[in-house]
A and B are shown apart, each in its own frame.
Chain A
């Protein structure tokens, strides 16, 4: 990864450390970061960074932090430079150090909160850019200084000799934090935490101690478990799946879910396996149920024997070293988050992931109980909503375009820039498909990118989330698009199938939708890498009758 490190101080030693993990560019000269941003032919733009770190050291400037107006002016100058940067490189994540005063000061009581004011002022400036859609994030270096201690984090000697404010310890911590943030941009890490119950989510053994005697409370010893649950819940709200792996009798455990201090409830878990089988066996079952690999699991259990068994039987699973002193349990969980689940942004779909997964389980159960697939679909009371992409849907669309492998006819990957541009072009439509049914809202489940030329339309991209496959949604989408296209006097639709390692599920999609191979295409679809199709708009399929379509193409 190519990373530009911009700073108003000397960061060569930090760059040396970061070079163990990434490629680093630092501008020539001292405190030239703003010129680098402003001049369009600077080394920064020539380098073409994939991420940018802006490390701004407040004390590097003259003594302006005693005066509210001067401080505000300085911060505005920084934020404006960063705004220019994010305008020029809109797709590149920019990580900006939080405002922190390193040096010693003589503050009288009433003025000493000025530091906090400046920190918040800067924070708001960065947040405003983020809210405008810029990929800008705060790098919480003040947290590092608190964790390590300000005096150990900074080194006045290095500052006075070499214009480098940080100590060796500080540099190591900074470099670790920066790498954590940089690697968050590449997702695809762990997806699920499988947790034990007794002595992990509460203190004690429910089957022996009973509900009155377990440790789980708002104060004193029981609070450490409540805090651990709070952290797990935070992760769940960001799209991390939680699962229970416990050796217990389910009827013994059940009362705990009504315990007033039990923050995690059934609806927070994507899956629960409570029985006396081996946990390695059970985690394999979980992997199957959740449709994820064993390597997507993190396993948390207080019992060393269980951990060893898991390591031996399922080496792909990441087994967490449980703290001997459980007052450190919350700390261990936040470490797990930083290491395996940390992310820069979350979408509405991430937040609803567990609920969506649970609804999916209910659908599966209903499917197996249905007389026929048609009966099942009819009883789902599905609703579909298709419209041109709205700006607030951009992040989810980009996410789907870049991670959908199976139901994806061309597997073309586009970034935020590309998609926004398509959305503004008159000859291109970016179309989103929403689905819901009686079990819940599934959000945006499909994306199409259509390019127009005269009376022709070309389906550049047609993808759907794998969770709505086999619902005849693709037919309904075409039926809706047929109406839209007929209104627009589009006569012929062209489409392609481009083979990828994973998109076999859509090999025969266009055949099934009534398309025929284009005249110039005599490729054998089973063996060819690309196959072109066409259809007259009038011949597109009719509505399936399984969906209620609301607000289609009214936005």
Chain B
């Protein structure tokens, strides 16, 4: 999980200590709708997975994102 959070921190350009698995969309300033899309793209590319388009809007917390990465060969 920590590796995942570190990765998210670099994408968001924030300090990793600001993030936990419960950090939610809109809760920190950087995570706006644009960042949400950037996270989708970055996670898809980094973990070589697909997040189906209909599920993107239902992702609320970093834990939700993390779940997708667990199906990846690159999972933490």
What 1/0 flags go to A153-179 for Cβ under 8 Å of B?
001011011101001110000000000
Residue B38 contacts which of A13, A157, A160 (CB distance < 8 angstroms)?
Answer: A13
B34, B37, B42, B45, most chain A CB atoms within 10 A:
B37
Taking each of A13, A157, A158, which has the highest tally of chain B beta carbons within 10 Å of its own beta carbon?
A: A157
Report if A289 contacts B (CB, 8 A). no
Closest chain-B Cβ to A67's Cβ sits at a distance in Å of 29
B51 to chain A, nearest CB (A): 8
Contact partners of B33 in chain A: CB under 8 A: 162
| Chain A contact residues: helix, strand, loop or mixed | helix
> How far is A164 from B56 in the complex, measured between Cα atoms in Å?
15
* Contact partner, B41, options A12, A158, A160, Cβ 8 Å: A158
- Give the residues in chain B near A12, CB-CB below 8 Å: 34
Q: A161 and B56: CB pair below 8 A?
A: yes
Q: Are B45 and A158 in contact (CB under 8 A)?
A: no
Q: Is the interface of B mostly helix, strand, loop or mixed?
A: helix
CB-contacts of B14-57 with A (<8 A): 33-34, 37-38, 40-42, 45, 53, 56
Most buried by B among A13, A162, A164: A162
With a CB–CB cut-off of 8 A, which chain B residues contact A155? Answer: 41
Q: Chain B, interface size: which category? A: 10 to 19
Is A162's CB under 8 angstroms from B37's CB?
yes
Q: Which residues of B contact A164 (CB under 8 A)?
A: 37
- Contacts across chains A and B counted by CB atoms under 8 Å: 28
A161 touches B53 (CB 8 A): yes
Chain B's closest residue to A170 (CB) is B41
How many Å lie between the Cα of A168 and that of B34 in the bound state? 13
Cβ distance A214 to chain B, nearest Cβ, rounded Å: 45
How distant is the Cα of A12 from the Cα of B35 in the complex, in angstroms? 10
Residues of A within 8 A of B53 (CB): 157, 160-161
Cβ–Cβ < 8 Å partners of A168 in chain B: 38, 41-42, 45
A164 to B36, CA, bound (A): 13
| Pairwise interchain contact B34-A162, C-beta atoms closer than 8 A | yes
- Neighbouring A residues of B56 by C-beta, 8 Å: 157, 161
The complex places the Cα of A181 from the Cα of B8 at a distance, in Å, of 31
Query: How far does the Cβ of B30 sit from chain A's closest Cβ, in whole Å?
Result: 11
Determine the residue in chain A with the shortest Cβ distance to B41: A168
Nearest opposing residue in chain B for A167, CB measure: B41
How far apart are the CA atoms of A157 and B45 in the complex, in Å?
A: 13
Q: Complex: how many Å from CA A158 to CA B36?
A: 11
Cβ of B41: which chain A residues have Cβ within 8 Å of it? 155, 157-158, 167-168
Q: Report the minimum CB–CB distance from A170 to chain B (whole Å).
A: 10
Which B residues touch A161, using CB under 8 A? Answer: 37, 40, 53, 56
Within A480-499, the residues touching B (CB, 8 Å) are none
Chain A nearest CB from B39 CB (Å) reads 10
> Taking each of B33, B34, B38, B41, which has the highest tally of chain A beta carbons within 10 Å of its own beta carbon?
B41
User: A155 CA to B40 CA in the complex, in Å?
Assistant: 11
The residue of chain B having its C-beta at the shortest distance from the C-beta of A164 within the complex is B37
- Least Cβ–Cβ distance between B52 and chain A, in angstroms: 9
A169 near B37 with CB under 8 A, answer no
B45 cross-chain contacts in A, Cβ below 8 A: 167-169
A157 touches B34 (CB 8 A): no
Query: A13 near B42 (CB under 8 angstroms)?
Result: no
Interface residues of A in 6-63 (CB under 8 A from B): 12-13
Residues of chain A having any CB pair with chain B under 8 Å: 12-13, 155, 157-158, 160-162, 164, 167-169
Nearest first, the 7 A-B pairs at minimum CB distance are A168-B41, A162-B37, A12-B34, A157-B53, A168-B45, A168-B42, A158-B37
* Given pairs A158-B37, A160-B53, A168-B41, 20 additional interface contacts (CB within 8 A): A12-B34, A13-B37, A13-B38, A155-B41, A157-B40, A157-B41, A157-B53, A157-B56, A158-B40, A158-B41, A161-B37, A161-B40, A161-B56, A162-B33, A162-B37, A167-B41, A167-B45, A168-B42, A168-B45, A169-B45
Residue numbers of B with Cβ under 8 A of A are 33-34, 37-38, 40-42, 45, 53, 56
User: Would you give 14 A-B contacts (Cβ < 8 Å), ordered by A?
Assistant: A155-B41, A157-B56, A158-B37, A158-B41, A160-B53, A161-B40, A161-B56, A162-B33, A162-B34, A164-B37, A167-B41, A168-B38, A168-B41, A169-B45
